Amino acid sequence: MNKINKDEALVVFSGGQDSTTCLFWAKRRFGKVHALTFRYGQKHSLEVEIAGKLAEKAGVDFHVMDVPLIGRLGSNSLTDPDIVMDQEKPEGSCPNTFVPGRNMFFLSIAAVLAREHGISHIVTGVSQTDFSGYPDCRDAFIKSLNVTLNLAMDEQFIIHTPLMWIDKAQTWALADEMGVLDVIRNETLTCYNGIPGDGCGHCPACRLRRDGLEKYLASRGQQADSPTAARY
């Protein structure tokens, strides 16, 4: 294991709105940033390609890991093309876009990689405010896993969750404040149907993203379909 470098961070990175916002957040706070993306059997592998391009644009080290087991363990509409995606969260249960254990696996693997590179800071874009019914996006889970990972590897990892207590409108505001709103809007892939930028417009991820953008731009007196200044 390399000596711990407290000025480095590893971002769990999908190339979507939230993780890309976190990538630029990390670049402001750490001297060196690494991005870790996973191939886990997702239907839209384009997100890995987009993540690589965004990491290059941001000037960070890019790592990709193949973990197809995650997509095979449970039934969900993001990895199984035969399952029709839930458009709304079913009452009393998770939506079928939930990939069981995904964040637990991602963060655990990230911690192992971080340990090997001497990194103690891990960044993830989960949010309890807009968690869409996913239990592994909640603050209690992240804090619990942070303790578990530290005990499991006798390390002092710090898991950062910059978006935990803010909604999508505030996430857009953070991107704008960092000067990367156009990058986030036009070059990321959040859509469950695999369409970059503003996406398909009707899947749950696109609706949440669009509603947040409209709310944020309204607060600035703009329309969502108005061009924003490219400042990156």
Domain boundaries defined on the chain: 5-168
pLDDT in tens, 53-65: 999 999 999 999 9
Measured distance CA(37)–CA(126) in Å, rounded: 15
Per cent of the chain over pLDDT 70 is: 91
Write down the pTM of the prediction. Answer: 0.90
Report which of residues 223 and 231 the model is more confident about: 223
Axis crossing angle, helix 139-153 with helix 102-116, rounded to the nearest 10:
40
- Could you give the strand order of the β-sheet that contains 158-160, starting from the edge strand earlier in sequence? 61-66, 32-39, 5-12, 119-123, 158-160
pLDDT in tens, 136-175: 999 999 999 999 999 999 999 999 999 999 999 999 999 9
Indicate the fold that domain 5-168 takes in CATH: Rossmann fold (3.40.50)
Measured distance CA(48)–CA(38) in Å, rounded: 7
CB 194 within 8 A of CB 44: yes
Axis crossing angle, helix 204-219 with helix 168-177, rounded to the nearest 10:
60
Measured distance CA(47)–CA(55) in Å, rounded: 12
